[in-house]
A and B are shown apart, each in its own frame.
Chain A
């Protein structure tokens, strides 16, 4: 599970499995304790590559390979700038080219190739496409808000249902208790013999039970589908565009033969070829295999067109 240790204090990671490794922008890891020790002043140099770092840049490592974490961080930053979506492009090819550009940039930054140039390119892109970036940022936030609203609604619905169920249970418990109490009271006060009273009590308890059962089965009528569409509401959607294509016609395989025509599968038995082929065992026929298949294939292969 943990084949890496902290490169500095080495042993501590094995001894303390709950200790987390932190990664930062140069891609090297340090355990929490070492981070605290080295960066007590807030900034310092990385142990392995000596790049100047800040303590705030350390993030808890999520992936086993620290370079993956580094790439994830870089990707997040780049995507903030390169946030065009597929609808912004007029053709699939352009979108793919854009994506490839994006991947090149992320790759370069992750592997420290040509960092200066890449950063220049990014800035240039940012300047050129400022308004598109803004627009997409706004769209993104709107979408997120809508999502959150939906989530909130769902949560509220769940809560409501839970409370309802609890209340139901409470009521049922109370009814049962009342019933028992009533029995005790009657036993005290009434003149009738105890057996009759008990019988009456049993009847009432049974009635209560059936009532509870019925309530459980009564489904609360809703008027909303889960997607939010009201029931009995006719939703007119856009008509699906009809795509007309050429009908497929089956053309049987044409094998060019040099020599006598190969007989059809069905005729092989009649013509006596099958006498010379190993008969199919019961296990083989279960899967649909017949000896004619092997025979046909062998003969076809023998007489297939020779000249090129």
Chain B
């Protein structure tokens, strides 16, 4: 259950500032690492700033969402939600400059299929990358498998993610059973769903428990349809006398709605400029992208042939 889950203990933060602080630290860490390695010809302008990183992050998050929505067989919502959450958590403690998002995003999707018991074989998974030839898909698969363990490690092995979809279902069931004042709760479902998808693209999952997000979604869609659900809150949820909890709840809902409003789609020209910068950074500083555990082959003993060097695949190769 959520209340004794690792998500609640380790991955819920108290404020947006704390989250921003973590991302800033990750950015700094990468800069210091490069500065220490003493590569010549590196100036401050080659690195990405925080807001540039944000734009790229949102861009790749959107691509992840599109990839998951175009996935065959149809991916359940919880798998998509888990993948996006992994992506977000990974880049809390790592910088985009260090690990390129396009690989990490596919690794997140792959891992979340496994964790959520949505059985897709690896060949089927890379088969969804329609722009690639089968050989290219193989290469992508190898890269995914390389980064999988790193991803799990950076998630601190906390792989279970509680998404708000099930609490939303629960609330709808409860509404239908105990709140006959509202005639057709099903009408709320669509806009609540949209709210939840939008919330997944913000930091809401890192700040609020999923049941809170679900409740906000339902109340929001009710107010959009101009239906009043105040009495539900006070009567059915037993909060009639508890002014404090009620006000706290309203407060969190307001914060969440602000978060959603602040979200803006990344603009294409900005994205392209920053992407160029990112590619340059990766070309220069990419350290161990092709190193793999080789076991006994460390000392150059008589070994098997070295693997065929992989050509880098670009963004256009994705959906």
Q: Give chain B residues whose Cβ lies under 8 Å from the Cβ of A68.
A: 296
Q: Is the CB of B167 within 8 A of A276?
A: no
Q: Is the CB of A306 within 8 A of B212?
A: yes
Q: Which residue of A lies closest to B305 (CB)?
A: A3
Q: Is the CB of A260 within 8 A of B236?
A: yes
B178 nearest CB across to chain A (Å): 8
Q: Is the CB of B167 within 8 A of A301?
A: yes
Contact segment of B45-53, B100-108, B168-176, B264-272: B168-176
Q: Give chain A residues whose Cβ lies under 8 Å from the Cβ of B250.
A: none
Within 8 A of A (CB), among B205-258: 209-212, 214-215, 236-239, 245, 248-249
Report the bound CA distance from A267 to B210 in whole Å.
Answer: 26
Q: Is the CB of A301 within 8 A of B3?
A: no
Q: Give chain A residues whose Cβ lies under 8 Å from the Cβ of B212.
A: 306
Q: Is the CB of B301 within 8 A of A303?
A: no
Within 8 A of B (CB), among A31-90: 48, 65-68
Cβ 8 A contact of A111, one of B3, B209, B299: B299
Q: Give chain A residues whose Cβ lies under 8 Å from the Cβ of B283.
A: none
Q: Give chain B residues whose Cβ lies under 8 Å from the Cβ of A277.
A: 173
A254 nearest CB across to chain B (Å): 9
Q: Which residue of A lies closest to B212 (CB)?
A: A306
Within 8 A of B (CB), among A273-288: 273, 275-277
A65-B296, A259-B237 as given contacts; A300 in contact with B1, CB under 8 Å? yes
Report the bound CA distance from A4 to B305 in whole Å.
Answer: 10
Q: Give chain A residues whose Cβ lies under 8 Å from the Cβ of B168.
A: 302
A27-B301, A66-B302, A67-B301 as given contacts; A302 in contact with B296, CB under 8 Å? no
Whether B284 is near chain A, meaning CB under 8 Å from some CB there, is: no
Q: Is the CB of A301 within 8 A of B301?
A: no
Q: Tally chain B residues at the interface, Cβ within 8 Å.
A: 36
Q: Give chain B residues whose Cβ lies under 8 Å from the Cβ of A7.
A: 302
A259-B239, A298-B166, A304-B3 as given contacts; A273 in contact with B301, CB under 8 Å? no
A259-B239, A297-B166 as given contacts; A302 in contact with B248, CB under 8 Å? no
Q: Which of A27, A48, A67, A302 has the most CB of B within 10 A?
A: A302
Q: Give chain A residues whose Cβ lies under 8 Å from the Cβ of B172.
A: 276
Q: Which residue of B lies closest to A298 (CB)?
A: B170
Whether A126 is near chain B, meaning CB under 8 Å from some CB there, is: no
B12 nearest CB across to chain A (Å): 6
Q: Which residue of A lies closest to B162 (CB)?
A: A301
Give chain A's interface secondary structure class.
loop
Q: Which residue of B lies closest to A259 (CB)?
A: B237
Within 8 A of A (CB), among B268-319: 296, 298-299, 301-302, 304
A7-B302, A260-B236, A297-B166 as given contacts; A304 in contact with B1, CB under 8 Å? yes
Report the bound CA distance from A67 to B304 in whole Å.
Answer: 12
Q: Give chain A residues whose Cβ lies under 8 Å from the Cβ of B89.
A: none
Q: Which residue of B lies closest to A68 (CB)?
A: B296
A29-B302, A259-B237, A260-B236 as given contacts; A276 in contact with B211, CB under 8 Å? no
Cβ 8 A contact of A298, one of B173, B215, B237: B173
Whether B263 is near chain A, meaning CB under 8 Å from some CB there, is: no
Q: Give chain A residues whose Cβ lies under 8 Å from the Cβ of B176.
A: 275-276
Cβ 8 A contact of A255, one of B3, B174, B296: B3
Q: Is the CB of B8 within 8 A of A308?
A: yes
Q: Give chain A residues whose Cβ lies under 8 Å from the Cβ of B215.
A: 302
Q: Is the CB of B301 within 8 A of A28?
A: yes
A3-B304, A66-B301, A306-B209 as given contacts; A273 in contact with B173, CB under 8 Å? yes
Cβ 8 A contact of B211, one of A66, A271, A295, A304: A304
Q: Is the CB of B209 within 8 A of A303?
A: no
Q: Which residue of A lies closest to B208 (CB)?
A: A306
Q: Is the CB of A301 within 8 A of B177?
A: no
Report the bound CA distance from A277 to B299 in whole Å.
Answer: 62
Q: Which residue of B lies closest to A47 (CB)?
A: B302
Q: Is the CB of A301 within 8 A of B173?
A: no
**Binary A-proximity of B80-94 (CB < 8 A = 1, otherwise 0):** 000000000000000
A269 nearest CB across to chain B (Å): 11
**Binary B-proximity of A244-255 (CB < 8 A = 1, otherwise 0):** 000000000101
Whether A104 is near chain B, meaning CB under 8 Å from some CB there, is: no
Q: Which of A298, A303, A304, A308 has the most CB of B within 10 A?
A: A304
Q: Is the CB of B177 within 8 A of A276?
A: yes
Q: Is the CB of B237 within 8 A of A260?
A: yes
Q: Give chain A residues whose Cβ lies under 8 Å from the Cβ of B296.
A: 65, 67-68
Q: Which residue of A lies closest to B5 (CB)?
A: A304
Whether A217 is near chain B, meaning CB under 8 Å from some CB there, is: no
Whether A103 is near chain B, meaning CB under 8 Å from some CB there, is: no
Q: Which residue of A lies closest to B175 (CB)?
A: A276
Whether A112 is near chain B, meaning CB under 8 Å from some CB there, is: yes
Known: A273-B173, A298-B169, A302-B166; 18 extra A-B contacts, CB below 8 A, are A111-B299, A256-B3, A259-B236, A260-B237, A272-B177, A275-B177, A276-B176, A295-B173, A297-B170, A298-B170, A299-B174, A301-B166, A302-B171, A302-B214, A303-B237, A306-B209, A308-B12, A308-B209
Interface residues of A (CB under 8 A from B): 3-4, 7, 27-29, 48, 65-68, 111-112, 253, 255-256, 258-260, 271-273, 275-277, 295, 297-308
State the 8 A-B residue pairs at the shortest beta-carbon distance, nearest first: A302-B170, A298-B170, A302-B167, A276-B176, A259-B237, A67-B296, A299-B170, A301-B167
